[in-house]
Amino acid sequence: DGYFEQVVRQCRYSSKDLQGIEFIDSYVFNKAEYVRFNSTVGKYVGYTEHGVKNAEAWNKGPELAGELGELERVCKPNADLHYSA
């Protein structure tokens, strides 16, 4: 037994147009997602009491600026790899 903490980072490609890319960063504790950053929304959203508190703090801190750049740093440069597979 014990606890399970997981961060799932993903780029979702909906079309070959680079405008159709979405970056999602999900934080999961014991199989329950508690907070998520979505590049389409542009901020963190909390899904539990703990997640709401984290989202409020992270949206005001340097964490948000880092997440906002991930679409450009990670997803767009790898779009060709996704579509060629």
Residue 2 and residue 49: Cα distance in Å, rounded?
Answer: 21
Domain limits, the chain: 5-84
* β-pair partners for 25: 9, 37
Band (pLDDT 50/70/90 cuts) for residue 80 is confident
Instruction: Look at residue 7 and tell me whether its pLDDT is greater than 80.
Output: yes
**5-84 maps to which CATH number?**
3.10.320.10
Band (pLDDT 50/70/90 cuts) for residue 85 is low
Instruction: Look at residue 9 and tell me whether its pLDDT is greater than 70.
Output: yes
Indicate the pTM of the whole model. Answer: 0.84
Residue 5 and residue 68: Cα distance in Å, rounded?
Answer: 23
Q: What is the dihedral of CA 66, 26, 29, 1, to 10 degrees?
A: -110
Instruction: Look at residue 53 and tell me whether its pLDDT is greater than 90.
Output: yes
Residue 37 and residue 8: Cα distance in Å, rounded?
Answer: 11
Instruction: Please tell me the predicted confidence (pLDDT) of residue 19.
Output: 76
